[in-house]
Amino acid sequence: MAFENGVKKGVFMNQMVNDFVLNIGTVNGSGSQSANTIILKSLFRMGIPVGGKNVFPSNIQGLPTWFWVRASSKGYTGRRKDADIVVAMNPQTLVEDHKVVKSGGVFIYNTDLKVENLKLRDDVTNYGVPFKTLVDQATTVAKIKKLLTNIVYVGVLAELLEIDDEVLQATLVDQFDGKESVVEPNRKAMGLGRQYVQENFKKSEFPIKVQKMDKTSQKMMIDGNTAGALGLVFGGASFAAWYPITPSSSLVENFMKYSAQLRKTEDGKNKFAVVQAEDEISSICMVLGAGWAGARSFTATSGPGLSLMQEAAGFAYYAEIPSVIWDVQRVGPSTGMPTRTAQGDIMLALHSSHGDTKHPVLLPGSPKECFEFGQAALDLADRLQTLVHVLSDLDIGMNLWMEDDFQYPDKPMDRGKILTEDQINQLNAQGKHYYRYMEVDGDGIPYRTLPGTRHAQAPYLTRGSGHGPKAQYTEKSDEYQDVVDRLVRKWETARTLVPKPEIIGQGKKIGVISYGSASAVMKESIDLLSAQKIEIDVLRIRSIPFNDDVKNFIHNHDRVYVFDLNRDGQMYDLIRLDYPDQWQKLKSIRHYDGTPVTAESIVEPVLRTEKGL
């Protein structure tokens, strides 16, 4: 059938306020990000809990991209599969996009698109809008027409949903940094969208509305890469080396941006350095050099980069050099799907490199934790004198999450056991000699000196080859074992220092263990299951090695589901390895199609098992 402007009424759902999923399908490179952010931020500023997910291709221009907005008065801001409102701006996906509208929902589409084989559904209400015609009225500048088309749908949605105009206008201005020359045409295009709705639709009939609430006053909207970068700036990182890779690049870019703003001397010099390396091997090697010299150092990467860093990871472990790898996970194996999300690097990160190696792994569950783990990772690296991995993922790293306001970090930075010239002199006065790899405190962590320390006992030759407690080269079995056995004691110390799991609820028979971005849907999953008379407690792992909370949680439940965002259930396997006597209680559930996790992906398999559904 031909596309028609105006409304084609179908079945309307019951009126919904502040609870809906909006899915906007556009072409990437068309500037839809600004339009989508304005919608998301406006809802947030109206006090409505929201979450945004950008589903984009590994491409610069011309391929399909979607933006999902979840508004939820209850605070469920994770992804939901179906959509109440779909805005279809991309001819390539319009037919498919039409199918994902929930029955009783709304389909808003661009009638200027020449799409064949679209049969408009009767169970949804279809709104045809001539976007091109409207944009032609907004500007004669061909260059910006594409960008303005997206702003027109902001106006259309704002009018239909009844988004507060004052909030919307202010958000528009902020989005374009107050540049009136940019704001003006956008304001005009937005107005044309609103006007078209007023003239052609009855907005009172539109089944979904927004109303001001007060649920976001102590909240903020931020992505995990920006948050992580800020955590690293405020946590004291002074050196970064990197090789650009999706989806981690914006972490380093933000680190550069905020360092340039916040880390200058009075005479304009940099109290930080960022080196764009020739590859990820060099990135991590630069980090090791800087960490050895005494700077708080990190690199950010994703799967393929992490694979390249393996040899150096083992060096950092064995030579005991403070360093941080911030891995924003994407879908593997190999190049995989670079713009899709997963948690598939757990095993790799934990045992990066050959031989007996293991590294503490931090698992932030939100942008807020990315911020907090910025300093935590640097502190742990310095305290434990080792490589620390932080495993974020694309969903956390690149999507805007609604988070509790961040607190200024008051915690002093922990630089660990570094001996100065004076301190070595004091040791000598007590008749003691300093040796780099000697156990002193029983916690497996030796003392280090920084290069440049002017004391005869301070220098040592760092090496990845066999070495004894005095840092000397060795091929002697006992000297070799002395060091590697101490590293096991250090691992036990790490267990007491890494972030503890977060536990929600107690006393239920069923437990769910999750980690990372799954945190976005845990509250919703608990409530959905509860509505089905299945009560669960939840434990969210925030680091490896595990502490006793994990063991006790499994012990105290009859059945424990372990939820992974990878095909093989990597966390499930690690838990089984650590608690072999508990394996019969454990069940693996997994979501690994590359999309951000939904509550359904946890609830459905649990229901299947518990109710035999």
- Of 134 and 237, nearer to other proteins (C-beta) is 237
- Of 141 and 293, nearer to other proteins (C-beta) is 293
- Of 141 and 461, nearer to other proteins (C-beta) is 461
- The residue from 5, 59, 198, 270 that contacts other proteins (CB under 8 A) is 270
- Of 275 and 337, nearer to other proteins (C-beta) is 275
CA 431 to chain centre: 51
For the beta carbon of residue 529, count every other beta carbon within 10 angstroms: 20
The DSSP secondary structure of 506-532, one letter per residue, reads -S-SEEEEEEGGGGGGHHHHHHHHHHT
Q: Is 241 in the site for other proteins (CB under 8 A)?
A: yes
| Separation of alpha carbons 463 and 477, rounded Å | 17
- Nearest residue to 324 (alpha-carbon basis) of 270, 384, 367, 272: 384
Question: How many chain residues are in contact with other proteins, going by CB under 8 A?
Answer: 69
- Of 260 and 440, nearer to other proteins (C-beta) is 260
Which 213-232 positions form the footprint of other proteins (CB under 8 A)?
Answer: 220-222, 230
Q: Is 285 in the site for other proteins (CB under 8 A)?
A: yes
CB of 413 to other proteins, least distance (A): 5
- Of 58 and 472, nearer to other proteins (C-beta) is 472
Side-by-side strand order, sheet with 297-301 = 273-276, 239-242, 297-301, 323-329, 387-393, 361-362, 543-544
- Of 261 and 584, nearer to other proteins (C-beta) is 261
CB of 403 to other proteins, least distance (A): 8
Q: Is 381 in the site for other proteins (CB under 8 A)?
A: no
Which 542-601 positions form the footprint of other proteins (CB under 8 A)?
Answer: none
Q: Is 366 in the site for other proteins (CB under 8 A)?
A: no
In sequence order, the β-bridge partners of residue 51 are 70
- The residue from 158, 277, 388, 565 that contacts other proteins (CB under 8 A) is 277
b/e per residue, 472-505, with b = 16+ CB within 10 A? bebeeeebeebbeebbeebbebbeebbbebbeee
The tokens for 319 are 């030579």
| Separation of alpha carbons 492 and 353, rounded Å | 20
In the block, residue with structure tokens 């009172």: 204
Segment interacting with other proteins (CB under 8 A) among 146-154, 404-412, 511-519, 579-587: 404-412
Which 84-113 positions form the footprint of other proteins (CB under 8 A)?
Answer: none
* Cis peptide bond prior to 412, omega within 30° of 0: no
Q: Is 287 in the site for other proteins (CB under 8 A)?
A: yes
In the block, residue with structure tokens 């393929």: 304
CA 454 to chain centre: 43
The tokens for 537 are 């407690």
Type of residue numbered 465: S
Which 289-308 positions form the footprint of other proteins (CB under 8 A)?
Answer: 289-297
* Residues whose CB is less than 8 angstroms from the CB of residue 407 and which lie 6 or more positions away in sequence, other chains included: none
- Of 199 and 214, nearer to other proteins (C-beta) is 214
CB of 204 to other proteins, least distance (A): 32
Q: Is 281 in the site for other proteins (CB under 8 A)?
A: yes
Query: Which is it for the CA torsion 463, 469, 472, 474, positive or negative?
Result: negative
Q: How many residues does the chain have?
A: 613
- The residue from 203, 271, 354, 432 that contacts other proteins (CB under 8 A) is 271
Q: Is 605 left (phi over 0), alpha (psi -120 to 50) or beta?
A: alpha
Q: Cα torsion at 528, 558, 361, 244 (round to 10°)?
A: -30
Q: Is 46 in the site for other proteins (CB under 8 A)?
A: no
- Of 465 and 496, nearer to other proteins (C-beta) is 465
| Separation of alpha carbons 501 and 539, rounded Å | 6
Helix (H) or strand (E) holding 587: strand 586-590
CA 69 to chain centre: 17
- Of 11 and 262, nearer to other proteins (C-beta) is 262
Q: Is 67 in the site for other proteins (CB under 8 A)?
A: no
Q: Is 282 in the site for other proteins (CB under 8 A)?
A: yes
| Separation of alpha carbons 68 and 62, rounded Å | 19
Q: Is 121 in the site for other proteins (CB under 8 A)?
A: no
- Of 278 and 492, nearer to other proteins (C-beta) is 278
CB of 597 to other proteins, least distance (A): 23
* Residues whose CB is less than 8 angstroms from the CB of residue 609 and which lie 6 or more positions away in sequence, other chains included: 559, 561, 587
What's the DSSP call for residue 354? S
- The residue from 473, 481, 527, 552 that contacts other proteins (CB under 8 A) is 473
- Of 312 and 363, nearer to other proteins (C-beta) is 312
Q: Is 475 in the site for other proteins (CB under 8 A)?
A: no
Segment interacting with other proteins (CB under 8 A) among 238-246, 300-308, 438-446, 553-561: 238-246
CB of 378 to other proteins, least distance (A): 10
| Separation of alpha carbons 239 and 284, rounded Å | 11
- The residue from 408, 475, 558, 577 that contacts other proteins (CB under 8 A) is 408
Q: Is 272 in the site for other proteins (CB under 8 A)?
A: yes
Binding mask 306-335 for other proteins (x = CB under 8 A): -----xx--x--------------------
Radius of gyration of the chain (CA): 27
Which 247-266 positions form the footprint of other proteins (CB under 8 A)?
Answer: 258, 261-263, 265
- CA distances in angstroms from 61 to 30, 97, 113, 445, listed in the order given: 7, 19, 18, 51
CB of 267 to other proteins, least distance (A): 8
CB of 284 to other proteins, least distance (A): 8
- The residue from 76, 201, 206, 239 that contacts other proteins (CB under 8 A) is 239
- Of 15 and 270, nearer to other proteins (C-beta) is 270
Which 412-471 positions form the footprint of other proteins (CB under 8 A)?
Answer: 412-413, 449-456, 458-465
Residues that bind other proteins (CB under 8 A): 45, 220-222, 230, 233-236, 238-239, 241, 258, 261-263, 265, 268-273, 275, 277-279, 281-283, 285-297, 311-312, 315, 405-406, 408-409, 412-413, 449-456, 458-465, 473
